Structure 1
Amino acid sequence: MSKSSCTVTINGKKIKANVGDTLIDAGLEGRLVIPHDCCSGQCETCRVRVLSGAVDDLGTREKDTVLGCLAVLEGDAEISYDPVPIVKTIKGTVESIRTIKEDYLEVRVRTVRPVIWLAGQYLRATFAGYPPRDYSPTTPLNLDAEEGVIVFHIKVYENSVVSSKLGKEISVGHAVKLRGPFGNAFLRRQPEPILLTSTGTGFAPIWSIAVAASMGQPGREIRVIAGARTRDGLYMRDAVRWLQNHGVPITLTASDGDNETVLRDRPQDLVGPLTADHVVYSAGAPAHVEAMREIALSSGATFYADPFYVAEEDKGLTAFAGNLLRKAAAPFATASAGR
């Protein structure tokens, strides 16, 4: 039995498609690639806007957006997505590994040619001989950026497959392949006020967005809330100083905070009033990001999510089972492998 046909317009291009096709499949049939990565409803790289028409969002709708890998056509429709850099694989080598704070590293990779990425996106890094991991490229904490050098903030997990080897088996000169960029939680240069929240190394994409917005849109209202389990996880001292000097308010939180320079509240409890004009970016622990999603969407704000999941191999079978449960409970969260 043949499928009913329909027409989908993607960024102005009309494509013949079949009712029941996912938006990504419809695009591919018309030789138009909608940005995507996991194709399982987790990474949100494929989130697109539905401008009109018949689309079954399959539970992925947020305001006027859906996930292109899951949402299916029910008839003619028009969708659009923001242009992003083309996904490429680029070779490089580890240039430096520096301890920022105990269990937190800054890893710099020099590439054979520049990697083009947008603030807030992520890359898939494969250190030769090790499984791939997803990391968010970021602005150096001291802002000494170099062309052709990618900077990552990486949390070291004891006995992990990759992070615990950094500075040891994986050292300066080690070969690396970077693939990307991926992700939908990147800075859009709109006039609306921005709220940026993070936990742990979720600060990496949040910091890059804050710098890009502050330098590129000096008059835009920006506020940052950065949290960690304990004060030892607040590794961003230089970044805090820079933000304060550039008029960007930043609030730090940790469970052992002094309630003066570091508060004890959870980041999501410090958000305050939001309006439909706000744009919210959240990165880090999945529980934090999901809490922020609920807060943002309930106020009508635009929300971009980048939860960090610890790779299953890093914590053995217990973490593997835990990750499966988390992903089952929140199937449309952004999942990134091995942050």
Structure 2
Amino acid sequence: MDVSTNITLCVPRPPSGQSPDVAIVISTPKLTYIPANHILLRVDRFGFSANNVTYQALGEHPHYRYFDFHTTPEHEEVSAKSHGIVPVWGFATVITSGHPKIAVGERVYGYLAPTRYLLLPVSPSDVNKYAFYISRPHLPADYRPYNQVLRCATDPQYTPNPRAEDLTMLYRPLFWTAYWFEDWLWSSKISGVAHITPKIIGLTSSRNMEFTKGLELYDEVLEYSSFTASDSFHGREKDRWVYVDVAGNAPLNQRVFDHFTSPYTGVLAAFITLGMTNLSPSDVCVLAPGGAFLHAKWLAVRRHELRVEEIFTMQEIAWKELMRDCGGWVEIERAAYEKIIKDGVRPSKGLVWSLWDSDMPVPNATRL
């Protein structure tokens, strides 16, 4: 294996006119000069899911700006104007450090890039026992959680074994979005559910019905094609509903919205975008009427309302519960990027990738 060569997965930006479904693997030399207050990471592996495809689809959306986190490598086949980098959550090891408080050999977890080697600028004074922060002054201040790199040695949620790392890469980003969304929902006046026990209904496709019911997370699970025929959606004029869109399925969202235009179906108190798992890189993003929930923005609010110790305790308890329950939900698998784009992934599969795989080609540039 050629350790002197870097490999990076790049995707076309919409203005390039290229198909967004055709990614390109770029080969560049490994950096030998590391500036002060920078670190060079060896990205060992990272999780990849519909969440990352959403990052690509929303890469240039002004509300998200996912392509602004990592710099496109300089190469004759790509440029910062033609291609972007889809962020990934993964584990890495510090192999060179230009910061006096960050040691070579440290294991870290964060919002990385799909590459072998990653150079990151560290905020000179923003390093503590638990984490350090990447300097990205071009991004809004409330994107700070995405700039955080956790130091595994002091991370209370870290377990030093491959299986636990795999589950962390797959679940941690999505789980904390869901966790803090629920916190926001219970704190929000729009839901009107602060003093009642809500009924939670899940909507899914016919092929995923068995899996979704088996999670035992919902009071009821209904199919996309027939949910409006359920008794739960009729004769409930006084009910208040909160619809959380995690799929980004525009026709389904319209059906939900149309259903609640009747005076006999209750009130749709909120219609909020939380995720867009059905979104493909070529789709146009349309947010729900209630807007999108952005985890980083709400967490910034809660940091002013709760002590850091309280937040850590809340998260540690919730994370341990998830790790206890989620092991049987998913099988770890590796599959190529183009297969995910074309065929999707079964809900029971979790994808973990590495650009260090022994069968990975090291071309100058290869389109997938």
**Which structure is higher in strand share?**
1
Answer whether TM exceeds 0.5 for this pair: no
TM-score (norm 1): 0.29
TM-score (norm 2): 0.27
